[in-house]
Structure 1
Amino acid sequence: MIEASNLSKAFGLTRRAAQPLLRTDHRRDAVDNAGGFLAVDDVSFCVERGELFVIMGLSGSGKSTLLRMINRLVDPTAGQMSIDGSDVVGMSDGDLREARNRRISMVFQHFALFPHRTIRENAAYGLKVRGVGAKERLERADWALERVGLGNRGDARPAALSGGMKQRVGLARALATGADILLMDEPFSALDPLIKREMQELLLALQAEDERTIIFVTHDLNEAMRIGHRIMVMKDGRVVQCDTGPQILSSPANEYVSDFVADVDRSRVLTASSVMRPPAITARLDESPSAVLDRLGELEMNGVFVVDEQGSILGVARDDLLARAMSAGESDLRSCLVQEYETVSEDRPLAELFQLAGRHVVPVGVVDEHDRLLGVVPRAAILSSLAGPRKVMTNA
């Protein structure tokens, strides 16, 4: 949906003066020596359609400048940017206005509401700029306000709303336009923690329904980990890592990222899918108790998931029940089945798995919507994952 190649932005220099400097090996020093500042330095990335892509970094990392280059609120000094295959850098002013009006909406940190307009009029403003008739745009605004939980506040003025409500209006304005791309520049950073979490939950709920392409800028790593499909970490205008949250936690690219993630609540970020492993053994209902008991003995295990031909769980066979069935001369596992096991979905946080692990002779099972066994999460895997990221090795 969105593809950036070798984007750079130098402030304080003309494009003609800056471009030769950006081709040098020491371009940051070259730009600085020429009286400029290199805010974004040779950044490339792509965002898939329907992805919630997070750009994060500390103040001065270049993340907001990079976001604004996507819709050319800031013009790149060098590099290419395309949206759905269309070259954004080379767009005419008319085509760029059309793209901003119809395809791209932006949600800012400081709400950007008109104090003299009603909430409904604020939500409809993007459609007014587009030239949509009053009746249609106000209907769309009411629809968007309903979706963000402000359906009964359309006649109020911004001064009557809390900070969280004002940001809901900003989000409603973006939704009302029907844009398939949302650019969000630290939209929740000015909100208190409880309201911030409510807004994150609202955004995730809306994204689950609409599957818009969203690029979300934040300096809050916990926020990035909570909402992002992928996270691009920036430092000094450059990309230091681009991965999923669990991958960044388990395999930080360098010491900077490792330090960044040190205080993240891993139990709330890592999920069952990030730590599950294939089961060491499963059994079928028609297998003999003696054969399954022999396999359990070799693996020094006390129980096994019994699954059908589709991999759905039928139950668990314990070693003591297998031994009893073997002594009774039984030919299959029907008499050995017990429902002594726990299962979770792939997206279940580790914080909720810990209390389930170790209750039974088999590990916690990870299943899909059809109860098919995808993997298992042993207690040791949970403890290992919560212990912290691997140490990034550096040369002495």
Structure 2
Amino acid sequence: MTETPANDPSEGAKLVCRNLWKLFGPRARETLTALGAEATAGRLSAAGLVPAVRDVNLQVREGEIFVIMGLSGSGKSTLVRLMSRLVEPTAGEVLFHGRDLLSASEAEMIEIRRHKMGMVFQHFALLPHLSVLDNVAFPLDVQGVARAEREDRARKMIALVGLAGRENALPRQLSGGQQQRVGIARSLAVEPELWFLDEPFSALDPLIRREMQDEFIRLQSVLKKTIVFITHDFDEAIRLADRIAIMKDGAIVQQGTPEDIVLNPATDYVREFTRAVPRAKVVKVETAMRPAKGEPPAGIVPARTTVAEAAPMFLDGALALRVTGAQGETLGHLYRDDVVALMLGG
């Protein structure tokens, strides 16, 4: 497989997509090459092609949760399948550790998916005749891992997702949320470097969905995985994401932190997409704080806390909080009046 040049700006990213396209239809590659810079969605459709993914460029950094979101039909699920070559791209590059996956043989891709990638989808696809333990151990069985080792690792993953004691249960004996936990444990059993999750909670009831998001946040705090997470729910995205890419008609229209996207929408589409999002749920106190002056307040809040999370700290009558950095140093002061203004839509 080809290597990334040493001076490439994407060096250090776990996963990189460059000029990535997926067109469905006859003579897709030839048509894309012929149109060149004029390969708009309209021209491609007129040529009888369906432009599922159009000229996507992104980088997923080590240890981050990168959320790809958009409405149904925006191309987000196709994009995540291109990243693992479950779907073959029409053009472009997918670099994993600087190596182009599109030049890998099918045998190489099978090994990469088995040993370096984990995948969780909306539909759990548990094997109904196998117990929880055997479902979680199944990918290790495929790898040829000895039974004692794979069962030991499977038990650890089951405990990690909070299902210790249910190892012998069959899928039909579990709730939807428990089944999804089994799916998550199974994908983690191979200890993947890169974890793909395609709308894993969208089929769950709202309360269970919230619980699974909390569980996911807890797991990530322990595991520090590099994650690509697909969703159409902006509330879910801002709870989970380090960075977000928003897709429309197969193209990425904006990417950045949740705060960047909510406060500085790049297009009318993104503005409408984020219109109903409470700013206080997204804005960090380091953005809302003012320079420190006067006596330091007694209350302390970390800089990366959201304003909504910090707001209850004012209920005891405090007028300001001291905002601290990673080493406990004072960065500024957060004032109650500013928090009230932001929470009321200012």
Normalised by the length of structure 2, the TM-score is 0.90
The 2-side partners of 1:83 and 1:369 are apart by 31
Matches within 5 A, 1:224-263: 224-263=237-276
Counterpart of 2:331 in structure 1 is 374
Tell me how far 1:269 sits from its aligned partner: 2.8
* CA drift at 1:175: 1.0
Cross-structure match for 1:270: 283
Q: 1:74-223 to 2 correspondence within 5 Å?
A: 74-223=87-236
Cα 1:22–1:111 change in 2 (3 A) is: farther
Q: In 2, are the aligned partners of 1:18 and 1:77 still within 8 Å (CA)?
A: no
Higher RCO (CA 8 Å, separation ≥ 6 residues): 2
TM-score (norm 1): 0.79
How large is the Cα RMSD of the aligned pairs?
A: 1.9
Gaps of 5+ in 1: 282-303, 306-315, 317-339, 390-396
Whole-angstrom distance in 1 between the partners of 2:154 and 2:27: 41
> Do the aligned partners of 2:278 and 2:345 also contact (CA within 8 Å) in 1?
no
**2: distance between equivalents of 1:59 and 1:104?**
25
SS of the aligned residue for 1:124 comes to helix
CA distance in 2, matches of 1:277, 1:237: 40
CA contact (8 A) 2:201 2:212 kept: yes
C-alpha displacement at 1:353, in angstroms?
3.3
Q: For 2:264 and 2:343, how far apart are their aligned partners in 1?
A: 13
What letter is aligned with 2:56? Answer: V
| Identity among equivalent pairs (%) | 41
Q: CA deviation at 1:155?
A: 0.8
Aligned length: 332
| 1:161 maps to amino acid | L
| Partners of 1:21 and 1:27 within 8 A in 2 | no
Q: Distance in 2 between matches of 1:22 and 1:376?
A: 55
Once the two structures are TM-superposed, the CA of residue 370 in structure 1 deviates from its matched residue by: 5.2
Residue of structure 1 in register with 2:20 after alignment = 7
Distance 1:369 1:29 in 2: 49
Post-superposition offset of 1:89: 1.1
Separation in 2 of the partners of 1:213 and 1:10? 28
Report the Cα offset of residue 86 of structure 1.
1.3
How far apart are the structure 1 equivalents of 2:327 and 2:86? 47
TM-superposed deviation, 1:26: 4.1
Counterpart residue identity of residue 170, structure 1: G
**Shift of the alpha carbon at 1:388?**
4.4
How far apart in 2 are the matches of 1:384 and 1:241?
27
Cα distance in 1 for residues equivalent to 2:134 and 2:260 = 43
After superposition, residues 30-45 of structure 1 pair within 5 angstroms as 30-45=43-58
The answer to whether the aligner puts 1:19 opposite 2:69 as a matched pair is no
Residues 278 and 376, structure 1, Cα contact 8 Å, conserved in 2: yes
User: Gapped runs of 5+ residues in structure 2?
Assistant: 1-13
Larger-Rg structure: 1
Give per-residue Cα distances to partners, 1:319-365, cap 9 Å, x unaligned. Answer: xxxxxxxxxxxxxxxxxxxxx632212233322433545945x6321
> SS of the counterpart of 2:141?
helix
